[in-house]
Amino acid sequence: MAQHSSSLDEVFGALSDPTRRLVLGELGRGPASVGDLARASPMTLPSFMKHIRMLESTGLIRTRKAGRVRTCTLNRDRLAVVDGWLAEQRAIWEGRTDRLEQFVTTPQEPS
Amino acid sequence: MAQHSSSLDEVFGALSDPTRRLVLGELGRGPASVGDLARASPMTLPSFMKHIRMLESTGLIRTRKAGRVRTCTLNRDRLAVVDGWLAEQRAIWEGRTDRLEQFVTTPQEPS
């Protein structure tokens, strides 16, 4: 549970930055080199690399170096924790609705 | 677009903290007072209030004070930006798959 929670902290934290979301969107189209990804960003390479490293440490992307080129790949499965959390919330809401419906439709015993 | 992006920054940022996610989960069951929500947390009331204020400023919850009691309500609609972002990502992935499928299934013209 604690691990699950810290995983959500990390993934939601990673998604809270526009540069990182842009990288994830780009990688959704297919693997790309850090160089190509960085060229689409106005920031310096060292600043950009911090975002890449954060995405990698969160497990949202994987990187592999061949020669001088580091290629990044999206790890879609990692985004499933977001789906999971949203599904949990919906289950809570529906549980609430079910209880309300039960209250409304169950004939009340005369006291 | 900039507003859309900053809205995602805020919502994902709000969701990156376990106390704030716990509050959203609790409010998914129905409105609750700040006092009741705070009692479920080990932190001091002033620290807890910072989370409540952040959730309110992000629009994820609404609060209303009646006498000495401040009641919080979940604003589910605000979570829709997360669904929207995930749907965008899936559309990107599917676009990619479509292109791959097209490539695999379209007979290549002899060059």
Count CA atoms closer than 13 A to B3's CA, side-chain side: 0
Contact flag B12-A16 (C-beta cutoff 8 Å) = yes
Please say whether the beta carbons of B58 and B96 come within 8 A: no
Q: Do A25 and B89 touch (CB under 8 A)?
A: yes
Helix or strand run (H / E) with residue A12: helix A2-15
Residue B106 has a pLDDT of: 61
State the complex-level ipTM. Answer: 0.83
**DSSP assignment, residue B109?**
P
- Kindly list the residues from chain B whose CB atom is less than 8 angstroms away from the CB atom of residue A94: none
Q: With cut-offs at 50, 70 and 90, classify the pLDDT of residue A40.
A: confident
pLDDT at B108 over 80: no
Give yes or no for residue A76 having a pLDDT over 70.
Answer: yes
Q: CA nearest A95 in B: which residue?
A: B29
Task: Mark yes or no for CB contact A18/B29 under 8 Å.
Answer: no
Residue (of A6, A5, A15) closest to A79 by Cα position: A15
Q: Rounded to 10 degrees, what is the CA torsion of B29, B33, B37, B42? A: -170
Q: What percent of chain A is predicted at pLDDT more than 90?
A: 77
Of residues A5 and A99, more confidence is placed in A5
